[in-house]
């Protein structure tokens, strides 16, 4: 039997304010706004694929999540650990949108994120979520 999978593409590159290396002198409210905006954009992108108002998650078992970051024009690649940490807010939004049950290790395997240059120059974060075998 074929495993279900979905691809969710969030437009725009990762906001530098949600990364662990965000400048310490940046006011907390700017960082909070950036995190909220990231979650909202991710939720809208997810609901466009799996629907809104779900009572149960789209995936109820273990999932494998593959992430591709499309770098916007003028943006540099990120350290792997910072990229993974910045994905936290995206993964939380996908869980809240009921794409998968939980983002704990017991129910989710996160593949090493891949970075590519976005040919359109806008940037994106693409999630490929597949039922685990």
* CA angle, residues 108, 43, 28, in degrees to nearest 5: 95
Q: 57-95, pLDDT tens digit by residue? A: 999 999 999 999 999 999 999 999 999 999 999 999 999
Please say whether the beta carbons of 38 and 89 come within 8 A. Answer: yes
Q: Where are the domains of the chain?
A: 5-19+28-131
Q: What is the mean pLDDT of the chain?
A: 93
User: Which CATH architecture describes the domain 5-19+28-131?
Assistant: 2-Layer Sandwich (3.30)
Average the pLDDT over 14-42 and give the result. 91
């Amino acid at each position: 039997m074929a495993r279900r999978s979905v691809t969710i593409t969030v437009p725009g590159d990762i906001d530098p304010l949600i990364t662990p290396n965000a400048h310490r002198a940046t006011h907390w409210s700017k960082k909070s706004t950036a995190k909220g905006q990231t979650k909202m954009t991710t939720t809208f992108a997810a609901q466009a694929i799996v629907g809104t108002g779900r009572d149960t998650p789209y995936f109820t078992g273990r999932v494998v999540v593959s992430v591709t970051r499309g770098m916007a024009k003028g943006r540099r690649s990120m350290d792997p650990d910072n990229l993974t940490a910045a994905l936290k807010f995206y993964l939380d939004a996908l869980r809240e949108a009921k794409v998968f049950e939980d983002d704990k290790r017991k129910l989710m395997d996160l593949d090493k994120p891949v970075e590519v240059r976005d040919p359109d120059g806008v940037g994106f974060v693409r999630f490929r979520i597949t039922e685990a075998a």
